[in-house]
Chain A
């Protein structure tokens, strides 16, 4: 029972999560987006976890799997605590004892064996490149922008287009870049939130060594989840990490990118939690959208720092929610519909999946479209 008393080294659960720093102000639960549809009350977990003897019991509560790891609780906490990590700590107790859903177990095992959580073979990770003029990075060749492709984008047929479009945009801009044709492996973002700490530590070590080996000025990620994880949880990475919207905004500003077509549409941008709240990138995606002639950019009332989570993170791809209440992605799509938006622009593979599902479920397919930013931009370039 490693998770119970000594999660890592000799720290107790209370020490590890600084539970005694909590003043029970309620901002964590107050800000938690899933409270409208589940019983999760993260403040209660922080409070109850003071008692080490209760931990096992707490870990059995189904709510611990409702957390989407959006980090709102951590961003709002006035004392610098990360309440969601308490839930992850409880999850890790279950992972250690093997008491997790088979979907979770399979995802973890797949990362361990194949370097991705989607139970796909390692070797087919680069299939998306087929037929494309992709520049490949080699450790001994200096390159400006080293690309890291998210597992979901690499394998999911709906999302491979993100990587493909990225290549088209980079080639058009004449950018100095390189994609990896071997050795690329899951960043571990979802492994961490699912609670598999040991595996995550191993992944961090391996990826750090792998990426540090490249003579690249910086690493560009396609998913905000990889972006936030590399930035926050890879202390020994020797390169700065950017999200691709930052790079594209830079290329646009330098005059290396331009749009050949107009887009006469009302567009709303949905801030992904991992890009916005967690990493503070709000302006670059908007700058890109505003640069398109004809686009009328509208804003959600809950935008930027107050963006509403789509429920795609926190390992939720592998844990089905039991709540029958309206999904947050549906709330979001309804809000977009009320704004009269014809396009919901997103910059995260998970947001594409959740919001597109919601749009279909609500029957708005005729009126609007969920588009990954690269899809819009590559069409116009």
Chain B
């Protein structure tokens, strides 16, 4: 750049967020004394229309060619001001932000000291802005398809929305059927809709939609690339049943030599399945799967003289020779909808879960109360060796929620209401039963929730304010040891059955998903959204979105809403057919690069590779940056032994004067 720098410095009051702590007038006067500064102004809200207009007008009237905005974090408004200076004819990268809010006014109290610091920050920005080069953002083609990981209600809903909009969807599900947790539920709160009844049509749609390629019993193994151009590898596990031939008749499961011997995952172990099985009657696809961990033939190498399933299958669908299959495809966007696990109640041994068969979890209760469940919806449990219809039933809230002693500090958001619903269902099925709910707070915050809680209490469900401490056995009764905190009375209540309202936890295999997609976690271990308020479905990686309980506990309406939000965000690159690649990426000065590959190993985005080039007749290796993958984080630059790789706008010659200016206040 041969043009002489002419700078404008714009200082924002941010209402009183900045001006209460920083003397903006003194700062403006100071800015005018800095080299090359032609204009300096302060204004109440620089990001407002009139504020931006100030800058635009000055660029035109005064011929400014570099702009410093001293306001909030660049994360907030850098894009805003880039757009406005571009509108006035400047290269959008001729902008530097001085963060005098988060890094100054918000964290200091002393006005004099804060003003001195603000001056340093402005001086540093001025020092750097003069040295910036013009950069151009580039656009690349985007694949008009999406990958959705997980086919519970979140994944299904997002898939249907994207597919309905006309884009291709790859819907990948780990288990043999779609449906996820919602398929396991009986009725849904607070409306008491039958969960299966409202879900099944969507499950069927997800399999039949012309734009959805449903890949069940499969896991995503590799994700490479970037927004618009993800390259994906999926492993379809061997079902040992020919998908096309299987008619779903079920003869194999009845004939299985180890029929009904294994705990059914779908029934939370309350029911049994065969080694060849359909997870549940409404499963989609209605295709059987042989579980390699329980099948005699697959574990022991023989099953009688010949496997019975193969003998009885009229369609000849059983195929023990089947192997895993790798499927590869490209997608423009990814939605993660991997769901949740429930808290493992053995983590609170004081409740005797796993020891007493009549202490069960809320999810087990869903299967017990469900007409399609192992008891056909009859409420009965074993008390020791004896099967009983319980007459006194206790629910315990907050098992594995709001509990530091098991490392779960958050509220799981659904347990208060699913407990109220289950209590209602018991009153409905066993009108004579005494039902008590032991709670510490009832959180009935959603639409229709409080009204439902009112209804359940009036139906005779007794709410006792005290979170129980222990369950033990006296005779053939379970004893709940608790305190009624409203009357300060210690209790030892005798009941026949206890339902533990277990909370929601991240999937036990969340690490695999995290590493696969380079996701981050919030302190609760759920996947982290890009911004808790304004980007709740985005992740730190462009083009990867979150939906449903993988991001945090939520009920069905919230899950569906988030799935729809993620779908609509994911569709932006799909609809445009192209994506913009940031310009502030790392560049390699090949003449000095030694090809050591240190940057390749450091790069958190796998954006750098070694390529062979011809340097004056010698074939040598040098680093090369894939600009579409590079985020401009600068890790490579910090690691480079020969200063050969540096991010644009953050070159040593640009940031060293900036740092120097921080230390010297003229």
Using CB atoms and an 8 Å cutoff, list the residues of chain A in contact with chain B.
23-32, 35-36, 41, 43-44, 72, 75-80, 301-302, 304-306
Contact with A along B533-577 (1 / 0, CB 8 A): 000000000000000000000000000000000000000000000
Assess whether A24 is in contact with B481, with CB atoms less than 8 Å apart: no
The A-contacting residues of B in range 454-468, CB under 8 angstroms, are: 465-468
Contacts of A76 in B (CB 8 A): 350, 405, 469-470
Assess whether A306 is in contact with B466, with CB atoms less than 8 Å apart: no
Assess whether B473 is in contact with A26, with CB atoms less than 8 Å apart: no
Assess whether B349 is in contact with A28, with CB atoms less than 8 Å apart: no
Most buried by A among B352, B469, B481: B469
Assess whether A78 is in contact with B492, with CB atoms less than 8 Å apart: no
In the complex where A30-B470, A78-B398 touch, is A24 in contact with B485 (Cβ < 8 A)? yes
**B444 at the A interface (CB under 8 A):** no
Assess whether B466 is in contact with A26, with CB atoms less than 8 Å apart: yes
Most buried by A among B352, B467, B468, B490: B490
**B404 at the A interface (CB under 8 A):** yes
The A-contacting residues of B in range 472-490, CB under 8 angstroms, are: 472-473, 481-485, 488, 490
Assess whether A301 is in contact with B483, with CB atoms less than 8 Å apart: no
Closest Cβ neighbor of B492 among chain A residues: A36
In addition to A23-B440, A30-B481, A306-B470, 17 A-B residue pairs with Cβ atoms within 8 Å of each other are A23-B402, A25-B398, A25-B466, A26-B467, A26-B484, A27-B468, A27-B469, A30-B469, A30-B483, A43-B483, A43-B485, A76-B405, A76-B470, A77-B405, A78-B398, A78-B402, A305-B350
Name the one of A25, A29, A41 contacting B440, with C-beta atoms under 8 angstroms. Answer: A25
**B328 at the A interface (CB under 8 A):** no
CA distance in complex: A219, B385 (Å): 46
CA distance in complex: A246, B350 (Å): 24
Closest Cβ neighbor of B401 among chain A residues: A78
Closest Cβ neighbor of A304 among chain B residues: B349
CA distance in complex: A302, B468 (Å): 15
Assess whether B473 is in contact with A25, with CB atoms less than 8 Å apart: no
Using CB atoms and an 8 Å cutoff, list the residues of chain B in contact with chain A.
349-350, 352, 398, 402-405, 440-441, 465-470, 472-473, 481-485, 488, 490-492
- The smallest C-beta distance from A342 to any residue of chain B, in angstroms, reads 22
CA distance in complex: A298, B470 (Å): 21
Closest Cβ neighbor of B404 among chain A residues: A80
Assess whether B490 is in contact with A78, with CB atoms less than 8 Å apart: no
CA distance in complex: A41, B482 (Å): 12
Contacts of B485 in A (CB 8 A): 24-26, 29, 43
Assess whether B483 is in contact with A41, with CB atoms less than 8 Å apart: yes
Name the one of B352, B398, B481 contacting A31, with C-beta atoms under 8 angstroms. Answer: B481
- The smallest C-beta distance from B501 to any residue of chain A, in angstroms, reads 14
Name the one of B472, B481, B488 contacting A44, with C-beta atoms under 8 angstroms. Answer: B488
- The smallest C-beta distance from B343 to any residue of chain A, in angstroms, reads 13
CA distance in complex: A47, B472 (Å): 27
Assess whether B483 is in contact with A26, with CB atoms less than 8 Å apart: yes
In the complex where A78-B404, A79-B404 touch, is A26 in contact with B398 (Cβ < 8 A)? no
In the complex where A36-B492, A76-B469, A305-B350 touch, is A26 in contact with B482 (Cβ < 8 A)? yes
Contacts of A75 in B (CB 8 A): 405
Name the one of A25, A72, A80, A301 contacting B467, with C-beta atoms under 8 angstroms. Answer: A25
Contacts of A80 in B (CB 8 A): 404-405
Assess whether A30 is in contact with B482, with CB atoms less than 8 Å apart: yes
Contacts of A77 in B (CB 8 A): 404-405
Contacts of A305 in B (CB 8 A): 349-350
Contacts of B472 in A (CB 8 A): 301-302, 306
Contacts of B350 in A (CB 8 A): 31, 76, 305-306
Contacts of B398 in A (CB 8 A): 25, 78
Closest Cβ neighbor of B406 among chain A residues: A78
Most buried by A among B403, B473, B484: B403
Name the one of B349, B405, B470, B490 contacting A41, with C-beta atoms under 8 angstroms. Answer: B490
CA distance in complex: A37, B395 (Å): 26
- The smallest C-beta distance from A20 to any residue of chain B, in angstroms, reads 15
Contacts of B405 in A (CB 8 A): 75-78, 80
Closest 10 CB pairs of A and B: A31-B469, A30-B469, A26-B466, A35-B490, A26-B483, A25-B440, A78-B403, A29-B483, A30-B482, A26-B485
- The smallest C-beta distance from B45 to any residue of chain A, in angstroms, reads 38
Contacts of B440 in A (CB 8 A): 23-26
Most buried by B among A25, A29, A44: A25
Closest Cβ neighbor of B439 among chain A residues: A25
In the complex where A24-B485, A30-B483, A43-B485 touch, is A72 in contact with B490 (Cβ < 8 A)? no
- The smallest C-beta distance from B432 to any residue of chain A, in angstroms, reads 27
Closest Cβ neighbor of B440 among chain A residues: A25
Assess whether A30 is in contact with B491, with CB atoms less than 8 Å apart: yes
Contacts of A31 in B (CB 8 A): 350, 469-470, 481
Closest Cβ neighbor of A42 among chain B residues: B483
- The smallest C-beta distance from A61 to any residue of chain B, in angstroms, reads 14
Contacts of B488 in A (CB 8 A): 29, 41, 43-44
CA distance in complex: A305, B484 (Å): 23
- The smallest C-beta distance from B560 to any residue of chain A, in angstroms, reads 31
- The smallest C-beta distance from A78 to any residue of chain B, in angstroms, reads 4
Contacts of A23 in B (CB 8 A): 402, 440-441
CA distance in complex: A79, B483 (Å): 17
Contacts of B491 in A (CB 8 A): 30
Contacts of B483 in A (CB 8 A): 26, 29-30, 35, 41, 43
Contacts of B469 in A (CB 8 A): 26-28, 30-32, 72, 76
CA distance in complex: A72, B483 (Å): 14
- The smallest C-beta distance from A23 to any residue of chain B, in angstroms, reads 6
Most buried by A among B398, B482, B485, B491: B485
Assess whether B352 is in contact with A30, with CB atoms less than 8 Å apart: no
- The smallest C-beta distance from B119 to any residue of chain A, in angstroms, reads 38
Assess whether B467 is in contact with A27, with CB atoms less than 8 Å apart: yes
Assess whether A78 is in contact with B467, with CB atoms less than 8 Å apart: yes
CA distance in complex: A24, B482 (Å): 12
Most buried by B among A29, A44, A77: A29
CA distance in complex: A181, B468 (Å): 48
Contacts of A306 in B (CB 8 A): 349-350, 352, 470, 472
CA distance in complex: A77, B349 (Å): 14
- The smallest C-beta distance from B458 to any residue of chain A, in angstroms, reads 24
- Cβ contacts A to B, 24 pairs, < 8 Å: A23-B402, A25-B398, A25-B466, A25-B485, A26-B484, A27-B468, A27-B469, A30-B466, A30-B468, A30-B481, A30-B491, A31-B350, A31-B481, A32-B490, A41-B483, A41-B488, A41-B490, A43-B485, A44-B488, A75-B405, A77-B405, A78-B467, A306-B349, A306-B352
